[in-house]
Amino acid sequence: MAEEKKIGITVKKKDDFSEWYTQLIEQAELADVRYGIKGFVVYREWAQVTIEKMYRSMMDALDRKGHMPLCFPTLIHEKNFELEAEHVEGFTPDVFWVTQAGSEKLNEKYALRPTSETAFYQMYSLWLRSHRDLPYKRYQRASVFRAEKTKGTRPFLRGREFHWIETHNAFATHEDAYKQVLEDMEITREVLGEEFAIPHIFFERPQWDKFPGAVSTFAADALMGSGKVLQLPSTHLLGENFSKPFNVTYVAENGEQKYCHLTCYGPAISRIYGAMIALHSDDKGLRVPFNMAPLQVVIVPIPKEGADNKAILKKAEKLSKDLGKKYSVKIDDRDEYTPGWKYNYYELKGVPMRIEVGPRDLENGTVIIARRDTGKKELTKDPDVVKVVDKIAGEYTENLLKQADEGFEKNIVHSKSVEEIKKALSENKIASAGFCSIGMDGAKCAEKIDLTGGEVRGKRMDKEEKPKGNCVSCDKPAKLIVYVAKSY
């Protein structure tokens, strides 16, 4: 037998999240950072299979809600960015520009899309004509590029290229556009919360932290194992701010020409994947929701000298055939690795279930089923294997969500002063606090909070919270509860 390669994460998640995450990426072979361009990484097979499943889940949800797909070019003309002043001011510093084709300098320069509002709405002005065309709900799957001036990049969580879906929708009225924002939140809850098992809070962002060119921005934040939050999908109420410069209009029933009210929504699948593995994985390695796993069941035959190993393998093959009708299944009968090494390997790779078949199981008509979510093993009779696997599959993702949700709620602390906010952040928690305003008149108060190392994430959209007393930063009566956290 060849010498087995040592595998496993050598630091604990709670002790050093950053190093733990780095080792998780390397050991589970999820990405390779050796591509040679800062902020651009290669996604390995094991991650990409899950990412493809995540894309399908999100696109299926959008399709059910009446969206249809489009595909736009990667390049956007510079003149598009000049039409909406606030947008160009917000994004131009982070744009990658294409200025040369072959050996020739271009007379005009083109942006590698940092986001696609200015591309979509250029075309919407040509396509939309009547109130009968509305609502117009479209999306595309794409890569976007942002030359963010950051010292540190981290696979999936922060880079200069990320992979997402972006929706761009046009409506006749402000009320219809706002309903779309609420629908985007509902899609986020259904897909991220239920299918990806990621607890999150949807916030209305402060006006000083909104998307460039938006009337209002709303975004979901998830709490990472390090205590920092990661912004996941955001949805933006754009009003007429883009429809006016791009002349996106429609003719109303009374014959009057009006500007469309626009919204956009951007679930960054690569970043959501990073959040998902950071939340659910543990010191043994990767854990992902059951339907997102690249491999759902691995069967490990346990040969033994003097045993009927052919019969053991035959039993494993029958199990694989029976379970393969519903699940992705693999038999690992490699003889160069011990069963113990294989157990560690598939725990590292996050396979939800492992079925062990040895000589005693052959004699007794049983198998052992090991769960990755709880670490428990269950001795199961052969006729019950499919039923037990079905049961585990049905509760696996919900169990991950429950585990993550418990940690999420424990990490929210109500604070009555800036000092208490600072203390909560130092303990890797989210702080909630009374505040005066998330309009521009509250920006000065937010500057005091910025000194704690955190930032105001906004007010919750999922429930009404009544504040007591004064704003934590000034003597004005508190009008709302805001949440403060460090972020990636």
Question: What span, in angstroms and rounded, lies between the C-alpha atoms of 354 and 351?
Answer: 7
Of 407 and 442, more confident: 442
pLDDT for the residue numbered 409:
78
Task: Give the chain's domain count.
Answer: 3
The pLDDT tens digits for 183-196 are 999 999 999 999 99
Q: Are residues 255 and 112 in the same domain?
A: yes
| 6 in any annotated domain | no
Domain final residue pick, 257, 280, 303: 280
If residue 298 lies in a helix (H) or strand (E), which one and from where to where? strand 297-301
pLDDT of residue 228: 85
User: Do both 75 and 147 map to the same domain?
Assistant: yes
Tokens at residue 111, please?
């942006």
Q: What is the pLDDT of residue 83?
A: 83
Q: What is the pLDDT of residues 378-406, one digit of tens each?
A: 999 999 999 999 999 999 999 999 999 88
Of 145, 172, 182, 178, whose CA–CA distance to 160 is shortest?
145
Q: Which pLDDT tens digit goes with each residue over 259-313?
A: 999 999 999 999 999 999 999 999 999 999 999 999 999 999 999 888 789 999 9
pLDDT of 107 reads 93
- Which pLDDT tens digit goes with each residue over 239-251? 999 999 999 999 9
Q: What is the mean pLDDT of the chain?
A: 94
- Asked if residue 46 has pLDDT above 60, the reply is yes
Higher pLDDT, 232 or 409: 232
50 in a structural domain: yes
Q: Which of 365, 370, 293, 384 is nearest to 339 (CA)?
A: 370
Full DSSP string of 359-377: HHHHHHTEEEEEETTT--E
Q: Would you state the structure tokens that stand for residue 42, as one six-digit string?
A: 């290669």
Beta strands in 159-240 (DSSP E): 161-171, 201-204, 216-223, 229-239
Kindly state the tokens that stand for 131. Answer: 């109130």
pLDDT tens figures, 62-110: 999 999 999 999 999 998 888 877 777 777 788 999 999 999 999 999 9
Q: 193 and 256 in one domain?
A: yes
Amino acid at 337: Y
pLDDT band at 4 (very low <50, low <70, confident <90, very high): confident
Query: In a 3-state reduction of DSSP, which class is residue 264?
Result: strand
pLDDT of residue 3: 65
Q: What is the pLDDT of residue 151?
A: 61
Residue 1 has pLDDT above 60, yes or no: no
Backbone angles phi, psi at 215, to 5 degrees: -80, -45
375 within a domain of the structure (yes/no): yes
Give me the pLDDT at residue 154, please.
87
The pLDDT value recorded for residue 148 is 79
Do 50 and 133 sit in the same domain of this protein?
yes
Of 61-75, 218-232, 456-470, minimum mean pLDDT range: 218-232
Say yes or no: 312 and 268 in one domain: no
The CATH number linked to 439 is 3.30.110.30
Residue 232, CA atoms < 13 Å, CB-side half-sphere? 27
Check pLDDT > 70 for residue 136.
yes
What pLDDT does residue 9 have?
97
CATH of the domain at 24: 3.30.930.10
11 within domain boundaries: no
Buried b (16+ CB within 10 A) or exposed e, 11-42: bebeeebeebbbbbbebbebbebeeeeebebe
pLDDT at 225: 65
pLDDT at 224: 79
pLDDT of residue 285: 98
Q: Is the pLDDT of residue 158 over 90?
A: no
Pair (275, 372) in one structural domain: no
User: How much is the pLDDT for 405?
Assistant: 87
Q: Which residue has the higher pLDDT, 437 or 150?
A: 437
Per the structure, the complete domain to which residue 325 belongs is given by 290-396
Summarised one tens digit per residue, pLDDT across range 303-361 is: 988 878 999 999 999 999 999 999 999 999 998 999 999 999 999 999 999 999 999 99
Decide if pLDDT at 2 tops 60. no
- The sheet carrying 104-112 orders its strands as 75-77, 104-112, 96-101
Task: Give, as one character, the DSSP assignment of residue 70.
Answer: -
Instruction: Tell me, yes or no, whether 51 and 195 share the same domain.
Output: yes
**How confident is the model at residue 396, as a pLDDT?**
98
- Provide the CATH number for the domain around residue 315: 3.40.50.800
Domain identity same for 39 and 127: yes
Question: CB neighbours of 227 closer than 8 A, spacing ≥ 6?
Answer: 411, 425, 427, 428, 429, 430, 485, 486
At 407, the pLDDT band (50, 70, 90 cuts) reads confident
Asked, for residue 267, whether it belongs to a domain, the answer is yes
Do 168 and 36 reside in the same domain of the chain? yes
